[in-house]
């Protein structure tokens, strides 16, 4: 779809007059014809682009930018005022609920005895109002994204058609009116708090929300997805309707720095053993990192170790960590600081049990020993802003969205002193996008990373809304994606030769068209009322519907059958977490700006027909006939293709089928190739039973070879003619070849399994059984033929049953 068509189809009706006038700007790029079009010269040359044309276009562009910027600013301020009004209404309803639940004596002393307790309808109205605000935030975010893309497109078209370079100048104008840089995170956090209060009817879940908290060891099942920047705000708004934003410090106003997370990853720069282990997912592979939350002034550093465990071991991959003061980090990593000193204060305070402190001490000793013995040093830093969605104190369902992900080099390998003798470099903080760093020191990841972390009991399935979310067009599944692996592979291209499997997909646009109705749904028009208004008495239809729905009749996400799926854990069918392993399609590659709709060649035949209509005369009828013939040819081509008998492809599953994502009714497949001198590592899961299966297969071959050898020995011992002797030798040779082949195949398979190579013949062998079966058939048929020939000679010698010749005499065979 071209961008002009996409813009027209995506416009919000209420915002129609405030979008960029993309069509008018396109027309402004066309100068007048040198001469009037005639039937002989229907498309004469246009006049060259002049300075007056440039001034006229820039003036029109400025007015469009001012229109979009002003509307975005006014709408944003309106949303702020509506959120403030809703917050006041929610606080009033919650206070009435608290007063109703308070003892009678306290209510009399406070003077609030006359205030009636809130009803279910009060919460319903508030939820509808907040849902309408959420829809407005979503619409404003889409409005901003569409207009920003429109400006980028028209500037690109201008520079290409006119030869005048407007992009650098207009970039400064965009910075002066940055309508596209409005941060919606503050809206999301505020709306999440209010919506959670209303959804739980004034009784939100409470618990430990701190970054470290009491959770030292994590055992979770994690799935990861990429999210395009265009879908980030919509995704946050969808999630906050089911899980609240996890705020680490609710007493403090929101600041962007509070959501920043930085991590320093360590590795041996000679062997890259930690990178190799995490990439290959070998049993016991570790990742060691130092993490802090917030800005560079944060004094609490978390030393973390992630250990990978194979499923066949019966254990789960675990992340263990302990906290350390920043001033002690260098001494701890060098071995100058004893581990017992770190936990002395913890023992004196007595906030943790002796067993917990012993476990942390053991972890600290192991990490310190590995850093020193394996000569680990800082290599890669990852930075991102995290928005976490989780019930406080309940880690069963946790969703985190990491935006503005950036990887930075921390090493001193090329002679440049980045971190020096310190454990991290100090020339940067959390001032994304780190524009002061050279290009070779930084990699800005183009997508956000969504992590769905679940702790479910045996037999439980994730919530239905999570399965719908991960199967929607908003996310792209990337199994086993790792920031450490990606950053290290990107930052050290001359030293890393084994790449992760997702690296070639970086050049493929991950956006997909919406194949089903999933996303933010605006409440019905009849329910879009203010929180401070009451319904009129004559709204009988609404009153009846509310009474019929009962107290729990708030808007909910429903599945295709209309079943309510708001519970966190419900018994459902299906394989819950296989969605990320069932990537159904590769998106179409596109251009550098907006691949889904290329506007560089938007001059279509309909535009030529419109110009010919203005010219009139014979030229118009020629163009009209040409246009009609072209359209008719396209229709006939489709009809003939449908009528020609040919093999039909298997129908793809419908878009509504869970876990399968398709682009319309087509699936695009793209083959990737590793750069020269590098290999792409494809993760292969190997369990002990694979070795046992290979051994059982070898024993089966061995058993069959013994049977063949026994047949050969029997024929040799009890036969007395040349046919039996020949068959005996044939079976002996076949048995020996089968033994040799099975032994070589077994050794080859074990080697490939040990090296985790993705080779089809490891699991499937078509030539061996085929050759063996054909050889047996040939030997048996030859034996049968020779025996039949021998019987024929015997018959001839005995003059029995000889056929008659033409003269009636017996014919000799």
Q: Are residues 320 and 291 part of one domain?
A: yes
Rounded to whole angstroms, the Cα distance separating 419 from 422 reads 5
* Residue 803 within any structural domain of the chain: no
**For residues 770-808, b (16+ Cβ closer than 10 Å) or e, as one string?**
eebeebeeebeeebeebeeeeeeeeeeeeeeeeeeeeee
| Alpha-carbon span 451 to 399, nearest angstrom | 6
Q: What is the mean pLDDT of each run of 10 residues along the chain (813 residues)?
A: 78 87 87 72 78 88 91 90 88 80 57 64 84 87 88 88 85 82 78 84 62 45 87 88 77 74 92 89 87 88 87 73 90 89 83 86 92 92 90 78 92 85 88 87 92 71 81 87 92 88 83 73 50 37 36 37 37 35 34 35 48 66 80 82 68 44 47 70 73 87 90 84 86 91 88 71 75 88 84 64 43 36
Residues 307 and 266 in one domain: yes
How many domains is the chain built from? Answer: 4
What's the pLDDT score for residue 483? 92
With 0-12 / 13-18 / 19 or more C-beta atoms within 10 angstroms meaning exposed / middle / buried, residue 769 is exposed
| Residues 715 and 727: beta-carbon distance below 8 Å | yes
Question: Which residues are catalytically annotated?
Answer: 483
Among 434, 468, 501, give the residue marking a domain's end. Answer: 501
* Residue 67 sits in the same domain as residue 195: yes
Coil, helix or strand for 767?
helix
Do the domain assignments include residue 805?
no
- The answer to whether residue 570 is domain-embedded is no
Q: Are residues 626 and 717 in the same domain?
A: no
Residue 250: the pLDDT is 61
Residues 449 and 300 in one domain: yes
Sequence-ordered list of residues with C-beta below 8 angstroms from that of 752, at least 6 positions apart, any chain: 759, 762
The confidence score (pLDDT) of residue 569 equals: 35
Residue 365: inside a domain, yes or no? yes
In this structure, is residue 671 part of a structural domain?
no
| pLDDT attached to residue 393 | 66
> Are residue 25 and residue 149 in the same domain, yes or no?
yes
Phi, psi angle pair for 406, to nearest 5°: -140, 140
In Å, what is the CA distance from 750 to each residue of 646, 700, 754?
A: 43, 16, 6
Query: Is residue 339 within 8 Å of residue 369, measured between CB atoms?
Result: no
Average pLDDT, the chain: 76
Q: Among the residues of 550-616, which ranges form H helices?
A: 605-615
Specify the pLDDT at position 763.
66
- Using the CB atoms, write b or e for 658-681: b if 16+ within 10 Å: bbbbbbeeeeeeeeeeeeeeeeeb
Domain shared by 191 and 327, yes or no? no
Question: What tokens were used for 85?
Answer: 């009004």
| Residue 12 lies inside a defined structural domain of this protein | yes
SS (H, E, C) 110-121: HCCCCCCCCCHH
In a domain, 572, yes or no: no
Query: Under 8 Å CB-to-CB from 713, ≥6 apart: which residues?
Result: 728
Measure the CA–CA gap between 86 and 92, rounded to whole angstroms. 10
Boundary residue ending a domain (453, 482, 501): 501
Asked if 663 and 513 count as a contact pair (C-beta separation under 8 A), the reply is yes
Identify the pLDDT of residue 265: 95
- What gap in Å lies between CA 451 and CA 88, rounded to an integer? 34
Q: Which two tokens stand for residue 131?
A: 């849902």
Please say whether the dihedral angle defined by the alpha carbons of residues 761, 767, 770 and 776, taken in this order, is positive or negative: negative
pLDDT tens, residue by residue, 395-418: 678 889 999 999 999 988 888 888
Last residue of one domain, picked from the residues 501, 521, 537 = 501
Domain co-membership, 333 together with 391: yes
Q: Could you tell me if 178 and 283 lie in one domain? A: no
Domain around 227: 217-501
**Residue 91 main-chain phi, psi, to 5 deg:** -60, -35
Structure confidence at residue 596 (pLDDT): 33
pLDDT in tens, 406-459: 999 998 888 888 888 899 988 888 888 888 888 888 999 999 999 988 876 655
Q: What pLDDT is attached to residue 408?
A: 93
For residues 3 and 141, state if they share a domain. yes
Tell me, what's the pLDDT at 108? 53
Tokens 């500037």, located at residue: 155
Residues 178 and 295 in one domain: no
DSSP 443: E
Answer whether residue 301 is part of any domain.
yes
Domain identity same for 331 and 437: yes
Which CATH number goes with the domain that contains 403?
3.20.100.30
């Amino acid at each position: 779809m071209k961008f002009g068509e996409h813009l027209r189809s995506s416009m919000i009706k209420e915002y129609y007059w405030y979008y960029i006038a993309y069509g008018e700007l396109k027309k402004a790029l066309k100068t007048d014809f040198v001469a009037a079009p005639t039937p002989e010269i229907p498309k004469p040359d246009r006049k060259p682009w002049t300075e007056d044309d440039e001034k006229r276009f820039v003036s029109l562009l400025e007015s469009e930018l001012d229109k979009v910027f002003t509307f975005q600013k006014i709408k944003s301020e309106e949303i702020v005022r509506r959120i403030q009004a809703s917050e006041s209404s929610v606080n009033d309803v919650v206070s009435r609920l608290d007063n109703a639940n308070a003892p009678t004596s306290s209510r009399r002393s406070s003077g609030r005895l006359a205030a009636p307790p809130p009803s279910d309808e009060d919460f319903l109205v508030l939820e509808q109002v907040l849902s309408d605000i959420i829809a407005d935030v979503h619409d404003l975010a889409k409005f901003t994204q569409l207009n920003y893309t429109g400006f980028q497109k028209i500037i690109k078209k201008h520079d290409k058609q006119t030869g005048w370079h407007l992009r650098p100048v207009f970039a400064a104008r965009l910075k002066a009116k940055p309508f596209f840089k409005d941060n919606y995170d503050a809206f999301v956090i505020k709306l999440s708090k209010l919506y959670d209060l209303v959804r739980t009817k004034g009784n939100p879940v409470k618990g430990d929300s701190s970054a470290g908290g009491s959770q030292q060891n994590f055992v979770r099942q994690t799935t990861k997805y990429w999210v395009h920047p265009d879908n980030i705000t919509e995704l946050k708004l969808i999630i906050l309707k089911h899980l609240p934003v996890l705020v680490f410090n609710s007493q403090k106003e929101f600041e962007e720095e509070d959501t920043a997370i930085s991590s320093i990853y360590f590795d041996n720069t000679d062997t890259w053993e930690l990178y190799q282990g995490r990439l290959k997912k070998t049993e016991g592979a570790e990742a060691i990192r130092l993490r802090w939350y917030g800005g560079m002034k944060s004094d609490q550093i978390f030393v973390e170790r992630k250990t990978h465990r194979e499923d066949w071991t019966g254990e789960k991959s675990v992340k263990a960590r302990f906290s350390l003061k920043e001033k002690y980090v260098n001494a701890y990593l060098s071995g100058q600081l004893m581990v017992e000193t770190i936990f002395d204060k913890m023992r004196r305070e007595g906030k943790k049990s002796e067993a917990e402190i012993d476990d942390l001490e053991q972890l600290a000793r192991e990490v310190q020993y590995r850093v020193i013995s394996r000569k680990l040093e800082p290599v890669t830093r990852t930075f991102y802003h995290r928005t976490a969605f989780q019930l406080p104190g309940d880690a069963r369902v946790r969703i985190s969205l990491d935006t503005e992900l950036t990887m930075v080099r921390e090493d001193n390998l090329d002679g440049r002193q980045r971190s020096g003798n310190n454990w991290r470099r100090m020339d940067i903080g959390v001032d994304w996008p780190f524009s002061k760093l050279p290009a070779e020191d930084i990699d800005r990841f183009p997508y956000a990373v969504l992590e769905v972390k679940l702790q479910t009991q045996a037999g439980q399935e994730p919530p239905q809304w999570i399965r719908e979310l991960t199967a929607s067009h908003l996310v792209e599944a990337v199994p086993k994606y790792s920031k450490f692996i990606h950053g290290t592979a990107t930052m050290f291209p001359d030293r890393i030769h084994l790449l992760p499997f997702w690296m070639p997909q970086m050049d493929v646009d991950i956006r997909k068209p919406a194949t089903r109705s999933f996303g933010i749904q605006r409440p019905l028009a009849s329910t879009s009322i203010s929180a401070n208004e009451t319904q009129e008495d004559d709204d009988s239809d609404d009153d009846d519907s509310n009474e019929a729905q009962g107290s729990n009749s708030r808007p909910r996400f429903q599945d295709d059958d209309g079943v309510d799926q708001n519970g966190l854990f419900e018994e459902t069918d299906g394989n819950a977490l296989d969605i990320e392993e069932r990537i159904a399609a590769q998106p179409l590659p596109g251009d550098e700006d907006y691949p889904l709709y290329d506007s560089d060649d938007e001059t279509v035949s309909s535009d030529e027909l419109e110009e010919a209509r203005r010219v009139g005369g014979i030229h118009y009828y020629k163009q009209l006939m040409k246009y009609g013939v072209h359209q008719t040819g396209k229709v006939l081509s489709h009809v003939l293709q449908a009528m020609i008998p040919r093999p039909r492809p298997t129908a793809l599953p419908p878009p509504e089928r869970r876990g399968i994502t398709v682009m319309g009714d087509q699936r695009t497949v793209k083959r990737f190739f590793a750069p020269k001198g590098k290999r792409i590592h494809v993760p292969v899961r190997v369990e002990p039973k694979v070795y046992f299966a290979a051994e059982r297969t070898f024993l089966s071959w061995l058993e069959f070879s013994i049977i063949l050898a026994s047949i050969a020995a029997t024929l040799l011992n009890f036969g007395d003619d040349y046919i039996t002797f020949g068959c005996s030798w044939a079976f002996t040779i076949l048995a020996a070849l089968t033994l040799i082949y099975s032994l070589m195949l077994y050794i080859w398979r074990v080697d490939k399994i040990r090296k985790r190579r993705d080779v089809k013949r490891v699991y499937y062998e078509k030539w061996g059984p085929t050759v063996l079966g054909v050889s047996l058939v040939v030997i048996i048929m030859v034996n049968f033929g020779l025996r039949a020939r021998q019987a024929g000679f015997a018959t001839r010698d005995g003059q029995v049953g000889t056929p008659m010749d033409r003269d009636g005499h017996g014919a000799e065979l």
